[in-house]
Structure formats: structure tokens, C-alpha cells
Amino acid sequence: MDHILSGIKPTGQLTLGNYIGAINKFVKLQDSGESFLFIADLHALTLPIEPEVLRTNSRDLAAFYLAAGLDPNKSNIFLQSDVSAHAELAIILQNYLYMGELSRMTQFKDKSSKMKEEAIGLGLFAYPVLMAADIVLYDSKVIPVGEDQVQHVELARDLVKRFNNRYGDVLVMPRAEVNKVGARIMSLSDPTKKMSKSDPKGDIYLKDDPAVMRKKIMSAVTDMEAHVHYDPEKQPGISNLMTILSCLTGKSFDEIEKEFEGKGYGDFKRAVADAVVNELEPLQQRAKQIIDSGLVDEVLEKGAKRANEIASGVLSRVQKAIGLYHK
Ligand code: AQP
């Protein structure tokens, strides 16, 4: 049975982008293999975060995974920090990725661009090393991610090639699996930028009050073209809203264009707001019930147990291959 691996950083409140680009995809894939879905709490440390915020975000993330339909009998949900092999393997793999390639990573360039060099943590720079360790630890072939993470998966593929050329067939080659539609949900206030947890402008948070969601969608930046048409170059705001509507309702772009022919942007935005609220309001209620029930701890413990079984096997395979002396 194939292994599927992915994670989300508990750096902030989950966004509609995380939901459409990642969580929904995890749910769709969970019948095609055994999933290992972790809460990337070690990755969350790469930028400053308050301990209480990290704890709450981690618990909420697990609750939203479950509320979205991930079944703990099919998907192993766990904290990255509960499986020490992630950190141990990253220490080994850092020797097989190079400064030049790490400094070319878009995420690193974006996140460090406004920081003084003395303030850029080594963890932020080495983020793709830990991510490569995450990926290869479960012998996963399929890595469901949004478009922004594809570059990191490509780097992990380079590493696997490099490592296997040197030591033989030790690591399994992963590949990124990206949604055809919805791989990059854009900010509502600046549709040329991706919607991101750490950039509150233009986000829809999964925990937003429905009235706030509606307000944000009704005031989303659009254009003067005055027709609902999919053209990300000329109409990035409308195209983004069409993508959201299509992902949440299953309607194609053609169907949406026909439905709103001759209608104003107000009607169209109201339909998008309805779709978002219809999807997220019950999701919030389920997540709240899950938090109140205490199920999260149980699921995380079970997930970590299974994850440790697989990860420790892969880690010892690597240790043996590179010559660390073990009986
Ligand atoms: N806007 C988006 N559209 C589609 N997919 C998205 N993802 C993130 N934003 C969008 C996907 O969600 C998963 C979680 O990613 P992550 O938490 O590891 O980090 P990220 O990609 O950096 O996500 P954020 O929300 O932008 O977090 P911050 O602000 O902390 O950096 C990934 O599969 C990602 O592709």
C-alpha cells in the first residue's frame, strides 16, 4: 500500500487556502493509501511564535483535520515533534543539500526579504532540509501540497537522486501531487499574492465568524471589466473567487461564467460567500465538538505510535547505508 505524506505548519490560524490546497486534498487521497499527516510544529519554530499560540494552533489543526473528514483509522495524524526521527534524519540530510540551492528557495527569499541578515535563523534557511527528512521518512511516493510547496518537494527529489546515486536504493522517490484547480488560492485584498496564514490581509480564516467571512468576500478586490470571466492575468480577483467557488461547489469555470452572464459582481460575490459559509460553518462546529470531546489527544497518540514505527525503520536504513556503526 502506498504511503501518502504531508503536513501543515501551526504558525497561525488556518486559511481557506490551506483548506482547499491541502486539507481537502488529503481527505480525497486517504482511500488511495496509508496517510501520514503531521502537524509541522518544528517547522513552525522557524519564525518567532509564542508557546501558547503554538500549542493552541497545533490542537486546532488536528481538530480541523478530523472535522474535514480525515479518518484516524486510515490517516495517521501526529505531531512532528512526537517523532524524533524527523530531527535526527534532518541532521544527517543537511550534509547532502547545499547552501546555493537552499538560498534559491522562493519561500526563504520571501520570508527573509524584510529581515536583517543577523536576524535570519538557521532553521528558516534549512527549512527544506527538515522538509526533505519529513518526506523521505515514510517511504512516500505521493506528497499532496499547494503550488507554493512544489519547489521544496523538487529539492527533496534532487536529494533522493543524489543520496541514492551514492549509497544505492535507500530512499523512495517522492512526487508532489497538486490540485488542477485551487493549488494557489490568492489573497482577497491583493489577488497577485497567495493567501497565507502569516499575512492576515486578505485571508479567510477557517475560524472566522460567518458574518466576517461574508464581509471579506463582499469587499474582495476585483476589476472594472464587469463580467465574470476566468482570466487570471486580466481579472485575477474574479478568477480567484471563481476558483474558490469551483473548488467548493464542483462547478466548472464554464458553468460559473454562464450562471453569472449579465449579472453584477455583487450577485457573484454573494454566491461565493454562500458557498464559503455553507462549507466552513459546519466545519467549525465539528472542529469545536472535537476539541471539547478530548479526541485530539487520543488521535495524536495513536498517530505518533504508527508514525514512529515506520520512521524509525527508515532512519535505521539510512544510518546503516551511510556507515553509522550500529550492531
Ligand atoms: N493560498 C494557498 N492556496 C493553496 N494551497 C495553499 N497552501 C498554503 N497556502 C495556500 C498549502 O497548505 C499547506 C500548508 O502549508 P504550510 O503551513 O506548511 O506552509 P505554507 O505553504 O507556507 O502555508 P501558509 O499558509 O502560507 O503559512 P505561513 O504563512 O506560515 O508560511 C501546503 O501544502 C501549502 O502548499
Render pLDDT for 192-236 as a digit per residue (tens, 0 to 9). Answer: 999 998 777 799 999 999 999 999 999 999 999 999 999 999 999
**Å from CA of 172 to ligand 1 middle:** 24
Rounded CA separation 168/208 (Å):
50
- Give the Cα separation of 114 and 273 in Å (integer): 34
Ligand 1 pocket test target in 4, 8, 152 with most atoms within 8 Å of CB: 8
Rounded to whole angstroms, the Cα distance separating 7 from 202 reads: 23
Q: Ligand 1 test: best mutation among 14, 108, 110, 196, most atoms within 8 Å of CB?
A: 196
- Note if 201 is an active site residue: no
Nearest atom (ligand 1) to Cα of 44? 30
Burial tier of 232 (Cβ tally within 10 Å: 0-12, 13-18, 19+): middle
Distance 9 CA to ligand 1 centre (A): 8
Which tens digit of pLDDT belongs to each residue from 67-102?
999 999 999 999 999 999 999 999 999 999 999 999
Identify whether 111 is a catalytic site residue.
yes
- Is residue 327 annotated as part of the catalytic site, yes or no? no
Ligand 1: list residues with CB < 6 Å: 8-9, 11-12, 15, 17-18, 20-22, 40, 145-146, 148-149, 183-185, 194-198
Domains recognised in the chain with CATH numbers = 3-183+295-322 (3.40.50.620), 210-288 (1.10.240.10)
* Alpha helix ranges (H) inside the chain: 16-18, 24-29, 51-67, 85-93, 99-103, 106-112, 122-125, 127-136, 150-167, 210-218, 236-249, 253-259, 265-293, 295-322
pLDDT at 197: 87
Helix axes of 265-293 and 210-218: crossing angle, nearest 10 degrees: 150
Nearest ligand 1 atom, CA 7:
18
- The one catalytic residue among 111, 193, 207, 288: 111
Amino acid identity, position 79: L
Distance of CA 263 from the midpoint of ligand 1 (Å):
33
Strands 75-79 and 142-144: unpaired
pLDDT band at 255 (very low <50, low <70, confident <90, very high): very high
Which of 18, 61, 201, 206 has the most ligand 1 atoms within 8 A of CB, as the residue to mutate? 18
Residue 297 has pLDDT above 70, yes or no: yes
Model pLDDT, residue 327: 64
Burial class (CB in 10 A: 0-12, 13-18, 19+), 211: exposed
Q: How does pLDDT run across 16-51, given as a tens digit for each residue? A: 999 999 999 999 999 999 999 999 999 999 999 999
**Measuring CA to CA, which residue among 224, 209, 182 is closest to residue 280?**
209
pTM: 0.94
Which residues make beta-bridge pairs with 36? Answer: 5, 76
Whether pLDDT at 178 is above 80: yes
- Minimum CA distance residue for ligand 1 atom 15: 8
